[in-house]
Amino acid sequence: MYTVGNLKDGVAGILSSTNLDNVTNVNGALERTARKLLTKLSIPEATAVQAITLYDGVFDYAAPTNIFGTTLLDFRPQGNSRSPINYPYKIPITTFDRTKKMLGSGVGLTFEYDKGTPILRVSSAAPTKRAVLDTMAEDTGWTAAGSASALTEDDTVFYDSPKSLRFTLTGSSTGTLTKTLTNALSIAKYENNAVALLAFRASAVADLTSATLLIGSDSSNYDSVAVTEGFLGAWKAGEWVLVAFDMSGATSTGTPDWTAIDYVQLQFAHTATIQNVYVGGLWLSLPTPYELIYETAAIFLNDGALSKTITDDDDEIVLNDAAYVIYENLAALEIVMQDGASGKDPKVKDLETVLYGGGSQMGLIPEYESSNPSAEIRTLDSWYD
């Protein structure tokens, strides 16, 4: 495998009249060239795989931070269980949001960015259907205690139509919402395996410390999990977020019977008064393991970890010969242009001919493209929509 040091030697050889020691920020130019390379070509070696666990009722997942744009190559179930009709479909944001609950087969995918953080939205019928503990559309049966008060139904702010529950947390304390289910649930397969998900919204979150969920067969026999952030990270003020309680890490009190679950309590610890706190649904979902295959500009390997940035000259470059020779010549072109050359410079023209062709010469890039067509999943939609 080639190293960054090999690349610099190769570029110096191509640019025989240029001393790279005199070039400003050589590593930056090489990193920039890697991004340009991925813009021009789909390179099999410049891909990565990330495991993503799907849950019924969850549509937003953390995307890889090193993904190149939104270039998806595949989204497939782990293992050997894929069916012939399990296609991944990449669709526009609005189409996804309107149809996310209607997909019959395959996987619907789209991307959103929140302050630069990529979010992968996924719609799939693959996950096992969730066990709903409460829709939280009615306050019947729920009791607010501790610092929680003014519990009421709200039909204007809700996660799922038609309503949510709204309450206030007062002072610096812990507020609780407790309910004994009308009908006990026999959900033993969810014990120590499922993730409980709560739809949650608060007008302010700076003073919210933690949320704890208790699930059991009565108030003396339950499993509990505490969290300090939402499914995708920090709480967000004025936005619905899902809060994930991983029951595989639950602490048991007494001996909860998961064949007769009928006790639920939510606890919210806070350090100041928080008005207009909402909960909009509570359910249990089982994990369904998938994996995302995507393109990345993280082609530099250091101590077994891929990176988009160069650490030192010993970093390895995960490109095979065909892609590497293009990268080498693109890097030479990038450096000579960075060094002040114009498009009329003979060295620039020579490099562009090598890369793109000229006259009867085909060029490295079009020749590589002809043998390595893009495998990217393209966004599909109909103009009729």
Residues 231-246: pLDDT tens digits? 999 999 999 999 999 9
Query: pLDDT at position 18, please?
Result: 73
CB atoms within 10 A of CB 162: 10
Are 260 and 163 spatial neighbours (Cβ–Cβ below 8 Å)? no
- On the question of pLDDT at 384 being above 60, the answer is no
Q: What's the pLDDT score for residue 22?
A: 81
**pLDDT value at position 359?**
76
In the prediction, which pLDDT does 342 show? 66
* The pLDDT value given to residue 41: 94
Q: For residue 383, is pLDDT > 60?
A: no
Provide the CA 296 distance to its chain's centre, in angstroms: 14
Quick check: 199 pLDDT over 50?
yes
| Lowest-confidence region among 29-33, 283-287, 303-307, 313-317 | 303-307
Q: Kindly state the average pLDDT of the residues 16-40.
A: 90
As a whole number, mean pLDDT of residues 281-290 equals 98
Q: Which residue has the higher pLDDT, 281 or 358?
A: 281
pLDDT digits (tens, 9 = 90+) for 331-380: 999 998 887 776 677 888 999 999 999 877 899 999 999 999 999 999 98
pLDDT at position 381 over 90: no
Handedness of CA 94, 97, 98, 104 (dihedral sign): positive
pTM, rounded to two decimals:
0.91
pLDDT of residue 153 exceeding 70, the answer is yes
| Residue 299: per-residue pLDDT | 96
385 confidence band (pLDDT: 50, 70, 90): very low
* Fold assignment, 131-285: Jelly Rolls (2.60.120)
Q: How far apart are the first and last CA of the chain?
A: 48
Contact 308, 31 (CB under 8 A): yes
Q: Domain boundaries in the chain?
A: 4-45+300-371, 48-128, 131-285
CA-atom Rg of the chain in angstroms? 27
Query: 13-22, 59-68, 98-107 — which is least confidently predicted?
Result: 13-22
pLDDT digits (tens, 9 = 90+) for 47-57: 999 999 999 99
Look at 36-40, 214-218, 325-329, 355-359 and tell me which has the smallest mean pLDDT.
355-359
Which residues contact residue 60 at a Cβ distance below 8 angstroms, ignoring those fewer than 6 apart? 112, 119, 120, 121, 231, 232, 242
Residue 1: pLDDT band (50, 70, 90) is confident
- On average, the pLDDT of the chain sits at 94
- pLDDT band at residue 382, thresholds of 50, 70 and 90? low
Burial of 51 (0-12, 13-18, 19+ CB in 10 A): exposed
Cα gap 107→290, rounded to integer Å: 11
pLDDT grade, residue 162 (50/70/90)? very high
Confidence of residue 258 (pLDDT cuts 50, 70, 90): very high
The vertex-124 CA angle with 123 and 128, nearest 5°, equals 130
Torsion angle of the four alpha carbons 195, 198, 199, 202, in this order, in degrees rounded to the nearest 10: -130
> What's the pLDDT tens digit per position in 270-280?
999 999 999 99
List C-alpha distances in Å: 227 to 75, 174, 307, 318: 29, 14, 30, 39
pLDDT at position 343: 61
